[in-house]
Structure 1
């Protein structure tokens, strides 16, 4: 049996995949070390930059404002999102490009959580800029609920990710365990299922409109208001 078949356990007419192969990484050994060093350097810069931003805001009392609170939250989300993907990817440059089923689900779950949270956090930051520009006298009153807003954003990420993963767990019978990507992203994983994924695709489309398109339109609208305020 080949590499793919060795990792599929057959149960009657269905198959349960216990391990997946990530084929998005390079298959050329001579490129593994340069790519490892490149992505490791990028990850180190990301970690140092975000941690530095968070520590600077935490330990500088004059930065304890709603806008910097949002900025520190965004840095934390970006740090967590990178950590979900990059360390596992770096390991795969020096080991076999495989990932277990539980690892796949866990990585995808937290990746979706942080992607959704980041989109809404950017919208919240632009809203804070809009309030500071157009309603400066009421800024402290309006933005006094910034902690609750941040909690709500994280809850949206958890709910959205739970819905995606919940419907994905209902799928069965993978036609292969080879994932054509360098990490466990949503669409590359859906492509390996034989069972119907129409509901999952409709779910992705619907939630994407809410979690990506809505924040994007919100950001655009607030920037229009800010520019209009400056022109006036």
Structure 2
């Protein structure tokens, strides 16, 4: 089959989770609820951080940035899916697919890097408490966030440009609920070897390296906590990390699971189901994980609503 010129591609078809029309209202209601909860929950975290002066610290500065990124991440994916379900259309334009893919990678990588930066913040707070305010100054915090954005945007642009070089034929059905990179590349009828190499190299550089940094930070944190003599001191130090550890575990276990399974198998259904965990469920759970176990955030939310919660 001769490769088609990608300039003739007008749209892709997002197959979603199921083609059963009876399930569409259920899927629509479920993801609309998840979207609203995610946006509201993360927005409350941002408002609480801004409104309460006690939360004007590096830890909550990074948390509010993470909440903003999570809102953007779900807004990149879910609204288009909801529109398609509501209009009974599976189409997404070629330009729309590339744009969605680009923004998806920006915000996923921002999530990834923010989790690594937050681990570093906890490392400094627990392992070097006397120098914490000096090390984690406002200039460094701003610089870390800026570097996260630059690396994420550059990676997203690289992946998008690599897809733009591909030619597509006639089979343009994406067995996913959004334009996921691996699924789109598999539709190409031109050589994808370079795309695959770039994707796997980027996975190592942009995911494994931050994850390794997180593991190293927590190795040093555990060593420092074990050196604390009092049980109360150990509990207090560890309690500041529980929420972050929970989010990291959920994000990386599902994220790595999707891409490692895509190497071992080609089951698009299992891939799309697993993708829901780190693209939709994790951003929804972040506000609960950080607020339910954090008395400072709960107090800020209570003050935000005039003591009504």
Pick the TM interval, shorter chain: over 0.9
1:103 and 2:96 correspond: yes
Aligned partner of residue 194 in structure 1, secondary structure? coil
Identify which of 69, 72, 78 aligns with 2:70.
Answer: 78
Any residues of structure 2 matched to 1:190-205 within 5 Å, and which?
190-205=185-200
TM-score, normalising length from structure 2? 0.70
Is 1:173 equivalent to 2:168 in the alignment? yes
* CA gap 1:12/1:194 in 2 versus in 1, 3 angstroms: closer
Q: Which of residues 132, 140, 149 in structure 1 aligns to 2:144?
A: 149
Give the structure with the larger strand fraction: 1
Contact 2:4/2:189 (<8 A) preserved? no
**Shift in Å, 1:217:** 1.1
Please show how residues 88-99 of structure 1 align to structure 2 within 5 Å.
88-95=80-87, 96-99=89-92
* TM-score w.r.t. length of structure 1: 0.92
CA-CA distance at 1:211 after TM superposition: 1.1
Structure 1 residues 14 and 222, CA, compared in 2 at 3 Å: closer, same or farther? closer
1:35 to 18, 27, 33: 27
In structure 1, C-alpha distance between the alignment counterparts of 2:212 and 2:220, rounded to whole Å: 12
SS in structure 2 at match of 1:30: coil
Give a deviation string over 1:155-178, Cα, whole Å, max 9, x none: 110000011111111111334111
Aligned residue number for residue 204 of structure 2: 209
Could you say what the CA RMSD is over the residues aligned between the two structures, in angstroms?
A: 1.7
Q: Shift of the alpha carbon at 1:97?
A: 0.7
Q: Per the alignment, do residues 215 and 11 of structure 1 end up closer, same or farther by CA in structure 2, a change over 3 Å counting?
A: closer
Q: Give me the whole-angstrom Cα distance separating, in 2, the residues matched to 1:111 and 1:12.
A: 26
* C-alpha distance in 1 between matches for 2:208 and 2:6: 38
The CA distance in 1 between the partners of 2:110 and 2:3, in whole Å, is 39
2:80 aligned with 1:52: no
Q: Aligned pair count?
A: 223
User: Where is the helix percentage greater, Structure 1 or Structure 2?
Assistant: 2
**In structure 1, how many angstroms separate the alpha carbons of the residues matched to 2:4 and 2:199?**
31
How far the C-alpha of 1:181 sits from its partner, in A, is 1.0
Specify the alignment match of 1:135 in structure 2: 128
Cα deviation, residue 15, structure 1? 6.9
Per the alignment, residue 6 of structure 1 pairs with: none
Partner Cα separation in structure 1 for residue 188 and residue 207 of structure 2: 25
CA distance in 2, matches of 1:153, 1:176: 36
Aligned-partner Cα distance in 2 for 1:173–1:43:
32
Which residues of structure 1 form unaligned runs of 5+?
A: 1-9
Residue 80 of structure 1 aligns to a residue whose secondary structure is helix
Question: Aligned in 2, Cα 1:30/1:62: closer, same or farther, shift over 3 Å?
Answer: same
Could you list the structure 1 runs, at least 4 aligned residues long, displaced by more than 3 angstroms after superposition: 10-15
Give, in whole Å, the separation in 1 of the partners of 2:123 and 2:172. 48
Change (3 A) 1:12 1:216: closer
Deviations 1:67-121 (A, max 9, x none): 1000001111111000000011111112211000111011000000011111111
